[in-house]
Amino acid sequence: MHLWDPPFCGDIDMLISRDGTWFHEGSAIRRPAMVSLFASVLKLEADGDFYLVTPIEKVRIRVTDCPFVVVKMESTGNGRQQKLAFTTTLGETVIAGINHPIEVTTHSETEEPHPSIEIRNGLRALINRAVFYRLVELAIEFDSDDDSITGVWSDGKFFQLGSIVP
């Protein structure tokens, strides 16, 4: 855990939209290298806000949903030996497992599934619709005491994608 806490310098007009586009003062940042640089210093703090943190300053930015978006998934192996690798729009790839959990919640406004995976240090990536459909195709079902649970294995961990109450 990084213990350095530079001084808070205020809010800046920077936004990460739901589709993963970064904006500064209302204009999209088009240089991938610049977005990658900003993403490398992005932190989620205990107050629930997102900050760009450098050795000399910390500024708060706005994030519409998750700061990253998964656009690709690759599957290797089967059953408990299956490994699911997820790649973001920024080219970061993680394998779902204990350090990179998949979570499916319900979107508060649309009541649709809201699938995401932790990328690093509490920062999550929204799993885009096409990838989520592929993930659901890999799902298996088993019965628990009260309902049927649907989910996937990755790196030895089972992730629940949903349940069907009889």
pLDDT digit string (tens) for 95-153?
999 999 999 998 777 788 899 999 999 999 999 999 999 999 999 987 666 677 889 99
Number of structural domains the chain divides into: 2
Residues 81, 130 within the same domain: yes
User: From CA 45, how far away is CA 123, in angstroms rounded?
Assistant: 10
Residues 34, 115 within the same domain: no
pLDDT band at 165 (very low <50, low <70, confident <90, very high): very low
Residues 72, 53 within the same domain: no
User: From CA 115, how far away is CA 3, in angstroms rounded?
Assistant: 31
CATH number for 93: 2.30.270.10
pLDDT band at 49 (very low <50, low <70, confident <90, very high): very high
Residues 72, 55 within the same domain: no
Residues 25, 59 within the same domain: yes
In-domain check, residue 2: no
Residues 80, 127 within the same domain: yes
- 3-state DSSP helix/strand/coil % of the chain, to nearest 5: 15, 50, 35
Structural domain for 32, as ranges = 8-63
First to last CA, the chain: 44
Residues above pLDDT 90, as percent of the chain: 79
CA 25-29-33 angle, to 5 degrees, is 140
